[in-house]
Amino acid sequence: MSFPRSIPCLLLLAAAALWGAAPAAAAAADGPPVLRPAHFFLPRDHEGPWLAPDRQLHFAGSLAIAASLRVEGRPRAESVAGSFAIGVAKEIYDAALKPSRLGRGASRKDLVADLAGALAGVLLLAAIDH
């Protein structure tokens, strides 16, 4: 299996496992499901400012991953997709597995920062190459 196909497949399998585990956990605990579509994302008023330190880390991490993939010879689209897939996996963790006392839920703004960082990493390497 090649790199661009393996990451999305792994993410789909992880998401399917999490969605399948949620009803089972709820049935066992006689409580609400662990992960429900309506509660996947944090409420918008709990996401914080656009330039929060966490968003800066998302941007920088995605930039570094995408740039590293480009340095290793991966195509631009694959570098962006691979870096963004890691960000998506992190948000799945935040929504499904993160301890609820720390505030469970994925952040739309984190995903935007992940994508912007991945694109910036690819563009940075393109500018350096010229």
- Of residues 87, 33, 45, the one with CA closest to residue 62: 87
Q: Find, among 62, 71, 68, 123, the residue nearest to 89 by Cα.
A: 62
Judge whether residue 120 has pLDDT over 80: yes
Higher pLDDT pick, 24 / 124: 124
Beta bridge partners of 106: 41
The reported pLDDT for the residue numbered 122 is: 98
pLDDT at 38: 58
Bridge partner residues of 41 (DSSP): 106
Task: Give the residue extent of every domain in the chain.
Answer: 37-129
What pLDDT does residue 17 have? Answer: 45
pLDDT digits (tens, 9 = 90+) for 68-104: 999 999 999 999 999 999 999 999 999 999 888 888 8
Average pLDDT over residues 32-43: 66
What percent of the chain has a predicted confidence (pLDDT) above 90?
56
Residues 43-72 as b or e (16 or more Cβ within 10 Å = b): eeeebeeeeeeebeebbebbbebbbebbee
The CA distance from 119 to 83, in Å, is 9
